[in-house]
Amino acid sequence: MTKQITKAEELAKFQREISVSEFFTKNRHLLGFDNPHKALLTTVKEAVDNSLDATQEMQVLPEILVEIHKATDDRFRIVVEDNGPGIVKEQIPRIFAKLLYGSKFHAMKQSRGQQGIGISASVMYAQLTTGKPTKITSKISPKRPAHYYELHIDTKRNEPEIITDREVPWQKDHGTRIELELEGTYQRGRQGVDEYLKQTAIVNPHLHLVYLAPDGQRLEFPRATKEIPIEPKEIKPHPYGVELGALMNMLKDTKQRTLKSFLTNDFSRVSDKTANEVCLKAQLKGTEKPSGVDSVSIERVFRAIQQTKIMAPPTNCLSPIGEELMLKGLQKEINAEFFTSVTRPPSVYRGMPFQIEAGMAYGGDLSSDDLARILRFANRVPLLYQQGACASSRAIVQTAWRNYGISQSKGALPSGPIMIVIHVASVWVPFTSESKEAIAHYPEIIKEMKLALQEVGRKVASYIRKTVKAKEHREKANLFEKYIPELAHSLSDISGEKKDTIEQGLMRLLRKLLPVLINHENSKEIQTKS
Residues forming the site for other proteins (CB under 8 A): 473, 476-477, 479-480, 482-483, 485-487, 489-491, 493-497, 501-502, 505-506, 508-510, 512-513, 517, 520-530
* Cα–Cα distance list, 160 to 43, 74, 164, 293, 491 (Å): 19, 26, 12, 37, 94
CB of residue 471 vs other proteins: minimum separation in angstroms? 13
Residue 31 near residue 41, CB atoms below 8 Å: no
Hey, what amino acid is at 67? E
Question: CB-wise, 467 or 501, nearer to other proteins?
Answer: 501
Question: CB-wise, 145 or 505, nearer to other proteins?
Answer: 505
Neighbour count for residue 331 (Cβ, 10 Å) = 15
The DSSP symbol for 410 reads T
Neighbour count for residue 303 (Cβ, 10 Å) = 14
CB of residue 349 vs other proteins: minimum separation in angstroms? 29
CB of residue 269 vs other proteins: minimum separation in angstroms? 38
Neighbour count for residue 374 (Cβ, 10 Å) = 18
Question: CB-wise, 442 or 480, nearer to other proteins?
Answer: 480
Question: CB-wise, 168 or 487, nearer to other proteins?
Answer: 487
Question: CB-wise, 289 or 508, nearer to other proteins?
Answer: 508
Neighbour count for residue 258 (Cβ, 10 Å) = 18
CB of residue 465 vs other proteins: minimum separation in angstroms? 15
Backbone angles phi, psi at 182, to 5 degrees: -145, 165
Question: CB-wise, 4 or 523, nearer to other proteins?
Answer: 523
CB of residue 473 vs other proteins: minimum separation in angstroms? 6
Residue 421 near residue 341, CB atoms below 8 Å: yes
CB of residue 477 vs other proteins: minimum separation in angstroms? 6
- Give the DSSP H/E element, type plus range, for residue 339: strand 338-343
Question: CB-wise, 316 or 490, nearer to other proteins?
Answer: 490
Sign of the alpha-carbon torsion through 324, 41, 336, 417:
negative
Question: CB-wise, 5 or 513, nearer to other proteins?
Answer: 513
CB of residue 363 vs other proteins: minimum separation in angstroms? 24
Residues paired with residue 236 on neighbouring β-strands, in sequence order: none
Backbone angles phi, psi at 341, to 5 degrees: -155, 160
Question: CB-wise, 2 or 522, nearer to other proteins?
Answer: 522
133: left (phi over 0), alpha (psi -120 to 50) or beta: beta
Candidates 33, 119, 10, 41; CA nearest to 382 is 41
CB of residue 493 vs other proteins: minimum separation in angstroms? 4
Determine the Cα angle at 399 with ends 459 and 445, to 5°: 100
CB of residue 466 vs other proteins: minimum separation in angstroms? 16
Report the C-alpha gap between 236 and 465 in whole angstroms: 47
Report the C-alpha gap between 488 and 483 in whole angstroms: 9
183: left (phi over 0), alpha (psi -120 to 50) or beta: beta
Question: CB-wise, 17 or 525, nearer to other proteins?
Answer: 525
Residue 322 near residue 351, CB atoms below 8 Å: no
The DSSP symbol for 311 reads P
The DSSP symbol for 103 reads S
CB of residue 530 vs other proteins: minimum separation in angstroms? 5
